[in-house]
Amino acid sequence: MRVVIVTGAGQGLGRAHAHAFAAEGFSVVVNDVGEAAETVVAEITAAGGVAVASVGDVSDWSYAERLVGTAVETFGDLHVLVNNAGLVRDRMLVGMSEAEWDLVLQVDLKGHFCPLRHAAAHWRAQAKAGRPVSGRIINTSSGAGLMGSVGQGNYSAAKAGVLGLTFVAAAELARYGVTVNAIAPAARTPMTAAVFADMMATQDAAFDAMAPENVSPLVVWLGGEEAGSVTGRVFEVEGDRIGLADGWRYGHRREIGRRFEVAEAGKAVLDLIAEAAPPTPVYGA
């Protein structure tokens, strides 16, 4: 039986992921900062699944180590880490406080790194001991991390950081039998329901396109053994759509074989922009 940790699983996307993994036969460690983790565990066990709660802050280094230990001690191993925990403190940059910046970067970015780091150490030790490893990490970014979002400079920076972390971790952990991917989901959660109320109000439609449960099948598949060839990728997922995000690539260049003069540099910039496709607009721009 495969074992999964889902962070921030007391509500929204994390809760949906935890239920979906349990329905597929995974043993689930449900993390959250409060009593909601116990509630989700009770829901899973009532439905015949296997789950245990772990309450704590995933951006705390020591707690993140204990979280990985909970999976190993309770279920004998860890196979999948779903980094989902996050929060928002939306404000235009000119009005954003240092505390609002620091909190979002701490929870949304460091809160991905800490569990990833300790899960990676567990899998590295297994690999060095000659044990087969089929580790999976699924990180949670956002359209804000891909494109930026007006009023969410802190959140956009954190979620863009999650993408950078994903690419590096995929490259570094492949040798141990670990894949690392990211999703950029759009769904109705406590965070999005208030900020994007009109967009998220699809409950009464024939198909509830914004239900968080729509995102979970992709996450569960990425956590499975059959997903071993997929790593370092970013998937946009919303409603009935799954897309592969095509990120930064090298574009057109100008070379002159010597140092550019100022005017030459300016002309090169304008020529390059004229040749390139326009960038995708920032959300809310």
Residue keyed to tokens 């505390």 = 99
**Selected catalytic residue, list 134, 142, 156, 216:** 142
**Selected catalytic residue, list 27, 54, 134, 155:** 155
Q: Cα–Cα distance between 101 and 90 in angstroms, integer?
A: 9
Assigned token pair, 165: 């972390």
Angle between helices 111-128 and 153-173 (to 10 degrees): 10
128 is known as an active-site residue: no
159 is known as an active-site residue: yes
Q: Cα–Cα distance between 116 and 110 in angstroms, integer?
A: 10
The answer to whether 51 and 30 are in contact (CB under 8 A) is yes
**Selected catalytic residue, list 54, 134, 159, 216:** 159
The answer to whether 244 and 234 are in contact (CB under 8 A) is yes
63 is known as an active-site residue: no
SS3 state of residue 33: coil
The answer to whether 5 and 71 are in contact (CB under 8 A) is yes
Residue 65: CB partners within 8 Å, gap ≥ 6?
118
Q: Hey, which residues are catalytic here?
A: 142, 155, 159
